[in-house]
Amino acid sequence: MTVTKYPIDYDTLKKGDYITPEQVQDILGKDRESKNYGLHILRLKQIIEDKMEERGTPVTAKVQLDGIHILMDNEASEYRDNAFDVGLRKSSRAHAGLLNVDIRNLTEMEKAVHENAAYVNGKTLQAAMAGRKEAHKALPHKRNVPGLPPTE
């Protein structure tokens, strides 16, 4: 991909393109070794996704080797599915951390807010996990065991 319009030519950007680390540095006006470069490149990735969606051509972008890769649909499908799983695990860890708070050190008001948050977050996680389990049960399972006929 060539960067012709400042900072990015969204008209020519398409799935499969890779914005090189050098191009990213030019766009950001920052060196890769500079402080908070990682945050800047993540923000640029988000801007690209937002601008492309505004134009009616949504894409999934991924920071890869200090550049930005605009994923093809098959790559985006796997990437987003993994991101969803990571989000659930992150939520689960956050909830576990919430439950580890020693409520004896909280005021009555803080304790009430904490308990409400723990309850709501717990119910939300419970619903997500139950929904996932139910969805997996509804999907057809295929088994391919060597020596046995395949099942549907």
Structure tokens at 51: 């601008």
Instruction: Check residue 145 and give its pLDDT.
Output: 76
The average pLDDT across 36-47 equals 95
Evaluate whether 38 touches 3 at the Cβ level (below 8 Å): no
Q: 126-151: per-residue pLDDT in tens?
A: 999 999 999 888 887 776 778 777 66
Quick one: how far is CA 101 from the chain centroid? Answer: 27
From 7, 94, 99, 82, select the one nearest 45 (Cα to Cα): 7
Cα(48)–Cα(62) distance, integer angstroms:
10
The residues with which 59 forms a beta bridge, in sequence order, are none
One-letter identity of residue 38: G
Evaluate whether 118 touches 98 at the Cβ level (below 8 Å): yes
DSSP structural state of residue 35:
T
The residues with which 26 forms a beta bridge, in sequence order, are none
pTM for the structure as a whole: 0.75
Q: 104-115: per-residue pLDDT in tens?
A: 999 999 999 999
pLDDT at 44 over 50: yes
